[in-house]
C-alpha cells in the first residue's frame, strides 16, 4: 500500500487536474519587500511548479519513489500542490484519493496491464 500512495502522488504531480490556483488579496500586503494592494490577483501555477527542475529532479520522468518516506525531505514545501494547501485546500481531497485507490484496485483485479511495444 505505501507504493500505491507514492504512485498516486506521482500521477497527480505529472497530470494534475488543477493547473493553477487564483487568489484575490483582501488587504494590502508586502511580499518580500514588494507592495501588493488589496484586490491584486495572485496566480499560483501548480502545473509549472510540479514540472520545474528546480523543485523536482528529472521532472518529466515518472518516478514514484520521489514520494517514499525517506525521500519526502527532498520535496520543498509548497511545490507539490495537487489539492492546493492551507485553509482553502480541496475539501474533497481524501474522498478523491480513496476513490482513485478503489478504482485502481478494481481495475488491477479485473485486467492485466502490459506495456506496449512503443
Q: What are phi and psi of 41, to 5 degrees?
A: -85, 130
On whether 90 is known to bind a ligand per the annotation, the reply is yes
Residue 85: HSE in the Cβ half-sphere, 13 Å Cα cutoff: 8
Bin 20: left if φ > 0, else alpha if -120 < ψ < 50, else beta: beta
List the binding residues: 90
List the binding residues for heme: 90
Amino acid at each position: 500500500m505505501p507504493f500505491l500512495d507514492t504512485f498516486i502522488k506521482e500521477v497527480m504531480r505529472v497530470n494534475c487536474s488543477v493547473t493553477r490556483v487564483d487568489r484575490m488579496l483582501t488587504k494590502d500586503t508586502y511580499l518580500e519587500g514588494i507592495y501588493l494592494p488589496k484586490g491584486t490577483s495572485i496566480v499560483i501555477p501548480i502545473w509549472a511548479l510540479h514540472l520545474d527542475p528546480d523543485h523536482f529532479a528529472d521532472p518529466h520522468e515518472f518516478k514514484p519513489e520521489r514520494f517514499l518516506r525517506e525521500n519526502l525531505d527532498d520535496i520543498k514545501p509548497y511545490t507539490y500542490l495537487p489539492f492546493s494547501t492551507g485553509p482553502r485546500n480541496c475539501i474533497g481531497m481524501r474522498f478523491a484519493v480513496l476513490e482513485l485507490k478503489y478504482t485502481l484496485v478494481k481495475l488491477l483485479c479485473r485486467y492485466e496491464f502490459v506495456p506496449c511495444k512503443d
